[in-house]
Amino acid sequence: MQRRRGVQATIWKFLYYNHKPAYEILVADADGPHHVRCALIPQRSARAEVPGQQQINITRMIVNANLEGVELWSRVEMLGKVWDIVTPPAYHHGERRTRHWSIDVRERPS
């Protein structure tokens, strides 16, 4: 699916806040999340075959936007589910029109 007509996703930004001189904590950014459209490419998945195991579902998101404040602690909401970021955003600059950011995300167990 094309990025511009793709799935609507909300990516929550985080920033570092100096709580005390010695403590730096990671908090959600009050400016709000990034609202983007993305293409999804399934990467790998594993079924839970034994009770107590979790299903693993990893998907690559491809977006056009520059995602400032997005890192491994950020969360993604799409398709009615919450996802964790597995790899930080990576910029890909091709020869012609293949300029995009890609992020691997993992579905959180429900």
Give the integer Cα–Cα distance in Å for 9 and 42. 16
Instruction: Provide DSSP, 57-69.
Output: EEEEEEESS--TT
**Any idea what DSSP says for residue 1?**
-
Give the integer Cα–Cα distance in Å for 34 and 18. 23
Domain count of the fold of the chain: 1
pLDDT at 20: 74
**Model confidence pTM above 0.85:** no
Q: Is the pLDDT of residue 87 over 60?
A: yes
> Do the domain assignments include residue 1?
no
pLDDT at 3: 54
> Do the domain assignments include residue 99?
yes
Q: Tokens 């996802």: give the residue.
A: 83
The 10 Å Cβ neighbour count of residue 41 is 12
Of the candidates 38, 29, 28, which has an alpha carbon nearest to the alpha carbon of residue 4? 38
pLDDT for 21-75, tens place per residue?
A: 778 887 777 777 888 888 898 887 666 556 655 677 888 998 886 777 788 888 8
> Do the domain assignments include residue 85?
yes
Q: Is the pLDDT of residue 9 over 70?
A: yes
> Do the domain assignments include residue 91?
yes
- CATH at 97: 2.40.10.370
